[in-house]
Amino acid sequence: MRHVAVIGSGPAGYYSAEALQKAFGEEVRIDMIDRLPVPYGLIRFGVAPDHQSIKAVSRRYEKVALSPNVRFVGNVTVGRDVGIAELQGLYDAVILATGAPHDRKLDIPGGDLPGVIGSAAFVGWYNGHPDFADLDPPLDVSAAAVIGNGNVALDVARILSKTPAEFVGSDIVAHAFEALGNSKIRTIRVLGRRGPHQIAMTPKELGELGHLEDAAPQVDLADFPPAQDDSALEPGLRKSVTHLRDFASLARNKRKEIDFDFFAMPVAIEGDGRAERMIVERTELTPDLRSVGTGERYAVECGLIVSCIGYQTPPIDGVPFEHGRGRFANDEGVIGDGLYAVGWARRGPTGTIGTNRPDGFEVAGKIFAVLGPGDSRREGGAGLDRLLGARGVNVVTFSDWQKIEAAETARAREGSPREKFVAIAEMLGLCGAP
Ligand code: NAP
């Protein structure tokens, strides 16, 4: 029997567990360790609450979680409750699937003023992440700016634009549902430092903006290259650019506007004790498609600024880290002897949920090649339980999580978003913790 610890129970973690089961069959025991009492990481806390079809992938992870050789070991923080070296002593292999839950910093003057919020915090707030429940973003302002031209920027712009009725069927958390329902924001400006041909937004997500009940996207066609240049784009990007072009002909008859501002690089944020305006510099592209400032600057009034410029993985003591790229230093998933990384912790924060699957299979294959089936001299989960028990850690199991999930389902009311528990103490109470 081999013992493997997977740190992180998001998509990369569950795909790795699934791949380990395929490689080793019955000959492996897998512990999925998570610092929160609930599983699924990015699926629960990152994917937009109105994208339930994407969130449904958690049913696939649940199948893995319910198999007899996989355990969920929740409410355990690696680095605080147990060290990485201790885990390496207990398990034959340790896989870091910790994702990239921290914001890349918006490093401009005024970037830390109240009202400037990173997307991890803002998305975590509306998705019920316990760390961001008290965020209280300023929604009593008339204009917001969203920095970045990726899918997260689109998620944020869409969530800021939707009416309460458009959240029916979602699992937006109650505090965000109420706050957004009272929002005074009417203009949402999405700023990209490069042009329409350099966006990182996918067609389905961009197309959704054209069908909002009370908000309409707007672009200025003067920002676009000649239409015939679109034919050189790869098909997905070409579709996205077509959606953008189509936005130019939409009527401006809705209460809210989502304005796309291209070649627009934020250079400072100003305000009296809180964000009130952003100073933006017009950019142009270099021959290798980087953006450089032209010196022309203008001010954009906005009391809420959400910076959606990418994420990073938090380092763990004793694990080599590439600070420039915000991920663990690794060679195709291998960090060192018996230590591996998958998903965003391995590659950085790019790709869809499914992109993590091959990572898991590659690393499981490497672990199998090193270990093969056979008897381990390590204690595995029994050793972890002993150690955590001695430290008084309140471990949450998968059946505990099922109690939390059942209680969330029981709270569901017809015509309202599904409710989620946010406070860790409340979740632990449901698991019967003292
Ligand atoms: P992303 O796709 O990498 O986009 C980041 C954006 O931020 C880019 O437009 C980038 O511009 C811009 N940016 C970076 N640094 C900046 C700076 N200092 N100032 C101004 N702009 C800056 O990242 P993401 O949107 O966080 O998404 C992460 C991953 O999750 C992506 O793979 C995304 O597709 C995926 N995702 C998918 C979905 C979905 O499928 N529905 C939803 C959400 C997220 P440059 O291009 O100029 O660097």
Q: What is the pLDDT of residues 342-372, one digit of tens each?
A: 999 999 999 889 999 999 999 999 999 999 9
CA 162 from chain center: how many Å?
A: 20
Residues 394-406 pLDDT 10s = 999 999 999 999 9
DSSP 3-state helix, strand, coil percentages of the chain (rounded to 5)?
35, 20, 40
d(CA 131, ligand 1 centre) in Å:
22
Q: Among residues of the chain, what percentage have pLDDT more than 90? A: 92
Q: Which two tokens stand for residue 61?
A: 């992870």
Angle separating helix axes 119-126 and 151-161, nearest 10 degrees: 50
Measured from the CB, is residue 202 less than 6 Å from ligand 1? yes
DSSP state of 195: -
Q: Determine how many CB atoms are found less than 10 A away from the CB of residue 69.
A: 17
The amino acid sitting at 87 is L
Closest CA to ligand 1's atom 21: 148
Q: What is the pLDDT of residue 416?
A: 77
Instruction: State the Cα–Cα distance between residues 84 and 320, nearest whole angstrom.
Output: 12
Q: What is the pLDDT of residue 198?
A: 98
Measured from the CB, is residue 308 less than 6 Å from ligand 1? yes
Distances (CA, A) of 262 to 169, 189, 195, 196: 33, 10, 5, 7
Backbone Cα Rg of the chain: 23
Q: Ligand 1, residue 200: give the atom nearest the CA.
A: 2
Helix residue ranges, H only, 248-311: none
d(CA 307, ligand 1 centre) in Å:
10
Residues 49-64 pLDDT 10s = 999 999 999 999 999 9
d(CA 350, ligand 1 centre) in Å:
8
Please tell me the number of Cα atoms within 13 Å of 37 on its side-chain side. 26
Residues 100-129 pLDDT 10s = 999 999 999 999 999 999 999 999 999 999
Instruction: State the Cα–Cα distance between residues 201 and 151, nearest whole angstrom.
Output: 5
pLDDT category of residue 410 using cuts at 50, 70 and 90: confident
Measured from the CB, is residue 118 less than 6 Å from ligand 1? no
- Indicate if the pLDDT at residue 434 is higher than 70: no
Instruction: State the Cα–Cα distance between residues 401 and 113, nearest whole angstrom.
Output: 37
DSSP state of 326: T
Helix residue ranges, H only, 200-338: 203-208, 235-247
Closest CA to ligand 1's atom 14: 309
